[in-house]
Amino acid sequence: MNASSSQQWILRLSLAATAIAVCVVVLGAWVRLTDAGLGCPDWPGCYGHIGVPDTPEEVAAANAAYPERPVETQKAWNEMIHRYLASFLGLVILVIAWLALKERNRPHQLVALPLGLVALVILQGLMGMWTVTLLLKPAVVTAHLLGGMATTSLLFWLALRHGRLFTYNQNAATARWLPWSLVGLGILTMQIALGGWTSTNYAALACPDFPTCHGQWMPWWDADQAFQVWHGLGQDFEGGVLSNEARVTIHATHRLGALVTFLYIGGLALWIAVSSPGLLRIAACLVLILLGIQVALGIANIVMYLPLSIAVAHNGVAALLLLSLVTLIHVINPRQAT
């Protein structure tokens, strides 16, 4: 494989890995929302198997080994499909890192980022294991979600920078948007973390009405319990363990975060779209469109009582919104990273 071919393969694999990573994030949401996080009570296999026990003998042996977690075939397959795809993503990232190392003497070749992605995907594997062994501890599951979002974003950033995609001549007028966009990225990351915390603490339906919560603008508040990160070891968190007041607090905080995110990122993207030409305007409009879809999905989750398809889409669009903001930052500052 010559140098030019290696460069092309890094770009192709980075784009493919980004698409796979989005699918992994969506499948992770599917696993959480179908209560399949402990569909396989061991790791990395499922009841000691590479696949899911299916014969009567295998099921009987699995149930005897894990009497507290009898085999539920559909939940087990939901979890294992997620693991298979995540493992495949890890292999693709390893290949990208290997190709980048081969091309490390090439000018402007990104090496630290692919190697960092290898470290991140290893950490994600450990998080996946701890998600099971620590019985869906919310802090671990939320960190696992954030790690998945970070992996997706960094893979796309690698593709954008390595392929020098969507670039044009930067000037002072466009560069001024960079710090504001980075703040927006931080706000969106916090909102995604709040969404993960809401989901992992089973607080998505804690406020069944909209825009108020139980008919109040300021609902019951129990921040001490709601945002307690550590709850000790050995406790099963499936179904949630927090009081209703704590769950309402989490849900209400997520709504407030959504409002801040909508106002800041929406205002920034609108400002950029109105005052900038060409590619920068297109990138800002994409952020606006996905932001509007995401807010609509969030409201639909409440008023329609968390239908599975919309809840999963809410996670998927969050990943796409994050990628659109990463694209906007790249377009604002298109210099080739070193």
For residue 216, list its beta bridge partners.
213
Which residues are within 8 A (CB) of 277 and not within 5 positions of it... i.e. 6 or more apart? none
Report the half-sphere exposure of 75 (CA within 13 A, side-chain side). 15
Which residues are within 8 A (CB) of 164 and not within 5 positions of it... i.e. 6 or more apart? 334, 336
Is there a contact between 35 and 237 (Cβ–Cβ < 8 Å)? no
Shortest CA distance to 128 belongs to which of 116, 117, 137?
A: 137
Q: Kindly state the tokens that stand for 200.
A: 């992992």
Shortest CA distance to 273 belongs to which of 294, 288, 259?
A: 288
Separation of alpha carbons 241 and 248, rounded Å: 13
Helices (runs of H) and strands (runs of E) counted in the chain:
11, 0
Shortest CA distance to 237 belongs to which of 32, 66, 47, 63?
A: 32
Report the chain's terminal Cα–Cα distance, integer Å: 23
Catalytic residue (choose from 72, 79, 103, 238): 79
Q: Kindly state the tokens that stand for 48.
A: 């000691």
Task: For residue 56, say if its preceding peptide bond is cis, omega within 30 degrees of 0.
Answer: no
Separation of alpha carbons 216 and 228, rounded Å: 24
Instruction: Examine the residue annotation and report whether 79 is marked as an active-site residue of this protein.
Output: yes
Q: Kindly state the tokens that stand for 208.
A: 């069944």
Separation of alpha carbons 153 and 320, rounded Å: 9
Task: For residue 211, say if its preceding peptide bond is cis, omega within 30 degrees of 0.
Answer: yes
Q: For the packed helices 3-33 and 308-332, what is the interaxial angle rounded to 10 degrees?
A: 150
Catalytic residues: 79
